[in-house]
Amino acid sequence: MGPNVTIREKIMRILLESKSALSARELAEIVGLDPATAEKQIYEHLKHITKTLRRKYGRRAVLYMIPPRCKNCGYEFRDLSEPRRPSRCPKCRSQRIEPPRFYVSIE
Protein backbone atom coordinates (compact mmCIF):
# COMPACT_ATOMS: atom_id res chain seq x y z
CA MET A 1 0.00 0.00 0.00
CA GLY A 2 1.49 3.31 -1.05
CA PRO A 3 1.26 6.58 0.83
CA ASN A 4 -1.40 7.90 -1.54
CA VAL A 5 -3.89 5.24 -0.55
CA THR A 6 -6.61 6.72 1.62
CA ILE A 7 -7.67 5.25 4.95
CA ARG A 8 -10.98 4.23 3.40
CA GLU A 9 -9.28 2.37 0.55
CA LYS A 10 -6.99 0.67 3.04
CA ILE A 11 -9.94 -0.50 5.12
CA MET A 12 -11.66 -1.82 2.01
CA ARG A 13 -8.56 -3.74 0.90
CA ILE A 14 -8.06 -5.19 4.37
CA LEU A 15 -11.66 -6.41 4.41
CA LEU A 16 -11.33 -7.87 0.91
CA GLU A 17 -8.20 -9.77 1.94
CA SER A 18 -9.01 -10.74 5.53
CA LYS A 19 -10.03 -14.31 6.23
CA SER A 20 -11.72 -13.40 9.49
CA ALA A 21 -14.27 -10.79 10.58
CA LEU A 22 -12.76 -7.67 12.16
CA SER A 23 -14.04 -5.12 14.65
CA ALA A 24 -13.74 -1.35 14.13
CA ARG A 25 -10.97 -1.21 16.72
CA GLU A 26 -9.04 -3.95 14.98
CA LEU A 27 -9.43 -2.15 11.64
CA ALA A 28 -8.26 1.11 13.25
CA GLU A 29 -5.16 -0.57 14.59
CA ILE A 30 -4.29 -2.18 11.24
CA VAL A 31 -4.55 1.13 9.34
CA GLY A 32 -2.50 2.95 11.97
CA LEU A 33 -5.22 4.88 13.83
CA ASP A 34 -5.67 4.91 17.59
CA PRO A 35 -8.23 2.17 18.31
CA ALA A 36 -9.40 3.98 21.45
CA THR A 37 -10.52 7.10 19.60
CA ALA A 38 -11.03 6.11 15.95
CA GLU A 39 -13.92 3.69 16.37
CA LYS A 40 -16.68 6.10 15.20
CA GLN A 41 -14.53 7.23 12.29
CA ILE A 42 -14.17 3.60 11.17
CA TYR A 43 -17.94 3.05 11.31
CA GLU A 44 -18.35 6.11 9.11
CA HIS A 45 -15.86 4.71 6.57
CA LEU A 46 -17.67 1.36 6.61
CA LYS A 47 -20.96 3.02 5.60
CA HIS A 48 -19.24 4.47 2.54
CA ILE A 49 -17.42 1.23 1.75
CA THR A 50 -20.79 -0.48 1.35
CA LYS A 51 -21.57 1.96 -1.47
CA THR A 52 -18.11 1.75 -3.02
CA LEU A 53 -18.27 -2.04 -3.16
CA ARG A 54 -21.66 -1.89 -4.86
CA ARG A 55 -20.32 0.53 -7.43
CA LYS A 56 -17.13 -1.45 -8.12
CA TYR A 57 -18.38 -5.01 -7.84
CA GLY A 58 -22.18 -4.85 -8.15
CA ARG A 59 -23.66 -7.64 -6.10
CA ARG A 60 -20.51 -9.78 -6.23
CA ALA A 61 -18.98 -8.19 -3.14
CA VAL A 62 -21.02 -7.46 -0.05
CA LEU A 63 -19.98 -6.05 3.32
CA TYR A 64 -21.56 -7.99 6.17
CA MET A 65 -21.86 -7.05 9.81
CA ILE A 66 -21.89 -9.64 12.57
CA PRO A 67 -24.20 -7.85 15.01
CA PRO A 68 -23.06 -6.62 18.40
CA ARG A 69 -23.90 -8.94 21.26
CA CYS A 70 -24.37 -8.54 25.00
CA LYS A 71 -21.67 -10.45 26.85
CA ASN A 72 -23.89 -10.73 29.90
CA CYS A 73 -27.17 -12.19 28.53
CA GLY A 74 -26.34 -12.98 24.91
CA TYR A 75 -28.81 -10.51 23.38
CA GLU A 76 -27.98 -9.77 19.73
CA PHE A 77 -28.54 -6.33 18.20
CA ARG A 78 -29.97 -7.60 14.93
CA ASP A 79 -31.97 -4.53 13.94
CA LEU A 80 -29.23 -1.92 13.72
CA SER A 81 -29.72 0.30 10.68
CA GLU A 82 -26.07 1.31 10.62
CA PRO A 83 -22.75 0.08 12.02
CA ARG A 84 -22.12 1.17 15.61
CA ARG A 85 -21.37 -0.17 19.06
CA PRO A 86 -24.46 0.15 21.30
CA SER A 87 -23.61 1.37 24.79
CA ARG A 88 -26.11 -0.68 26.76
CA CYS A 89 -28.14 -3.89 26.44
CA PRO A 90 -31.92 -3.22 26.25
CA LYS A 91 -32.71 -6.53 27.97
CA CYS A 92 -30.37 -6.65 30.97
CA ARG A 93 -28.89 -3.09 30.96
CA SER A 94 -25.34 -4.44 30.90
CA GLN A 95 -22.69 -2.27 29.28
CA ARG A 96 -20.50 -5.23 28.42
CA ILE A 97 -21.22 -5.26 24.68
CA GLU A 98 -19.24 -7.27 22.16
CA PRO A 99 -18.76 -4.83 19.24
CA PRO A 100 -19.94 -5.59 15.71
CA ARG A 101 -17.47 -7.28 13.38
CA PHE A 102 -17.22 -6.92 9.63
CA TYR A 103 -16.28 -9.01 6.65
CA VAL A 104 -16.59 -8.82 2.88
CA SER A 105 -17.91 -11.74 0.90
CA ILE A 106 -16.74 -11.70 -2.71
CA GLU A 107 -17.73 -14.09 -5.51
Residues binding Zn ion (CB under 5 A):
70, 72-73, 75, 89, 91-92, 94
Residue with smaller CB distance to Zn ion, 58 or 74: 74
Q: What is the 3-state secondary structure (H, E, C) of the chain?
A: CCCCCCHHHHHHHHHHHCCCCEEHHHHHHHHCCCCCCCHHHHHHHHHHHHHHHHHHHCCCEEEEEECCEECCCCCECCCCCCCCCCCCCCCCCCCCEECCEEEEEEC
* CB of residue 50 to Zn ion, shortest distance in Å: 28
* CB of residue 80 to Zn ion, shortest distance in Å: 15
Residue with smaller CB distance to Zn ion, 28 or 70: 70
Residue with smaller CB distance to Zn ion, 47 or 96: 96
